[in-house]
Structure formats: C-alpha cells, structure tokens
C-alpha cells in the first residue's frame, strides 16, 4: 500500500491545495493531508477548523484522510508508514525553501522521498495569505476557495482578521 502525506498550514484550504490533493490522490493508495501546527506563521483558523474545512471539501475524493501534527514531518511520515511527502510548487520562489526542506527530510528519514507537483496555471499565484487579504478588504474570493466553505471563510476573516 503506497501512502503519501501532504503537509501544510491550510489556513484556509484553497482551490490550489484541492487541485494538488485531487491529483496526488490519483497517484497513491492513501493520501493523508496533514495540518501542521508548529509552523511559524500565525494562523487565523484553529487546527480543528482547518481540518473541518479540509474534511468537507475532500469527502468525495477516494483515499484521502485528514489529520494534524505538531513535530517533525520525518517522524510523522515514519509513524504513518508513508513513503512519500507531496508538495505543491508554484513560482520559482517556492523552490529554494522546498529544496532545503526536501533534503532535510530525506536526511532525517531516508525511507521517505519528496515528490513535487507543479501548480495548475490558474492557481499559480494563489496562496492562503492572498485569500485572507482579499477577503479582509471586501474582495471576491469565489475563484480561489471551495464554494462550500466560502461564506464561512469570509465571515470569519472579516470578524477576526
Ligand atoms: P500557503 O499558505 O502558501 O497556501 P500551505 O502551507 O498551506 O501554504 O501550503 C501547503 C502546500 O501546498 C505547499 O507545498 C504549497 O507549496 C502548496 N500549495 C499552496 N498553494 C498552492 C497552489 N496554488 N498551487 C500549488 N501548490 C500550492
């Protein structure tokens, strides 16, 4: 059984993330989307909210599970018996950081490799921070976030963002 993990902050999940989840789920028997909660970014949504958004928007995709973790990704991969870490790559600016992370994770756990999926062109500039910024300033995020969570995201960001 080929198990992969797709880590991120998902604060909140965007159509760019879902595109990667859809495509990665077709490559593995099981894809665990894992909300990492030890990242330095200050999230707006709680880990539980982020997991709930992910659950609702991926429930129709076969082989996808949602989890959260705070610690070393290499340890989490070992615990789950995962052979692969999936990451999405947008612009060249993502590359240096991701390259460093991939080499570090391989050093920490040589059994696990990192696989990069190129963004789809329409999501090239899409990030959770951009969604938060647009929503906070009253812009339209319909093209960027899943329809089933759009109004909740907007309401929450305008209230607490
Ligand atoms: P962000 O806050 O930048 O959206 P996350 O930590 O939530 O970042 O992202 C998790 C993973 O998803 C990372 O590997 C990131 O490169 C990837 N990703 C995020 N947005 C996109 C996108 N629009 N297209 C492809 N990959 C993406």
What percent of the chain lies above the pLDDT cut of 70? 99
Known catalytic residue at 25: no
Which two three-digit tokens encode residue 106? 């391989």
Per-residue pLDDT at 36 exceeds 70: yes
Query: What integer pLDDT is reported at residue 69 of this predicted model?
Result: 96
Mean pLDDT value across residues 25-54 = 93
Known catalytic residue at 120: no
Known catalytic residue at 55: no
Query: What integer pLDDT is reported at residue 42 of this predicted model?
Result: 85
Please choose from 84, 86, 88 the residue to mutate so as to test ligand 1's pocket, defined by most ligand atoms within 8 A of CB: 88
Which two three-digit tokens encode residue 70? 């705070």
**Global pTM exceeds 0.75:** yes
Triad 137, 141, 145: Cα angle to 5°: 135
Q: How far is the CA of 36 from the centre of ligand 1 (A)?
A: 12
Instruction: List the residue whose alpha carbon is closest to atom 5 of ligand 1.
Output: 8
Which two three-digit tokens encode residue 69? 């973790």
DSSP-derived 3-state class of residue 120: coil
Mean pLDDT value across residues 5-9 = 97
Enclosing H/E stretch for 50: helix 47-58
Query: What is the C-alpha to C-alpha distance for residues 19 and 34, in angstroms, rounded to an integer?
Result: 16
- What is the tens place of the pLDDT at every residue in 98-154? 999 999 999 999 999 999 999 999 999 999 999 999 999 999 999 999 999 999 999
- Please, what is the average pLDDT of the chain? 94
Of the chain, the end-to-end C-alpha distance in Å amounts to 41
Query: What integer pLDDT is reported at residue 39 of this predicted model?
Result: 64
Q: 3-state DSSP helix/strand/coil percent for the chain, to nearest 5?
A: 45, 20, 35
Which two three-digit tokens encode residue 152? 């909740």
Q: How far is the CA of 158 from the centre of ligand 1 (A)?
A: 22
């Amino acid at each position: 059984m080929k198990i992969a993990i797709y880590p991120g902050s998902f604060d909140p999940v965007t159509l760019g993330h879902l595109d990667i989840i859809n495509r990665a789920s077709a490559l593995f028997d099981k894809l665990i989307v894992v909300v990492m909660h030890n990242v330095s970014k200050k999230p707006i949504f709680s880990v539980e909210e982020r997991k709930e958004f992910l659950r609702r928007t991926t429930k129709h995709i076969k082989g996808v599970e949602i989890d959260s973790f705070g610690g070393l990704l290499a340890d989490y991969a070992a615990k789950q018996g995962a052979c692969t870490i999936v990451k999405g790559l947008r612009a060249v600016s993502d590359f240096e950081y991701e390259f460093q992370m991939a080499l570090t994770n391989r050093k920490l756990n040589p059994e696990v490799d990192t696989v990069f999926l190129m963004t789809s062109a329409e999501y090239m500039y899409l990030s959770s921070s951009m969604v938060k910024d647009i929503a906070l300033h009253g812009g339209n995020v319909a093209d960027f976030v899943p329809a089933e969570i759009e109004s909740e995201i907007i309401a929450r960001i305008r209230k607490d963002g």
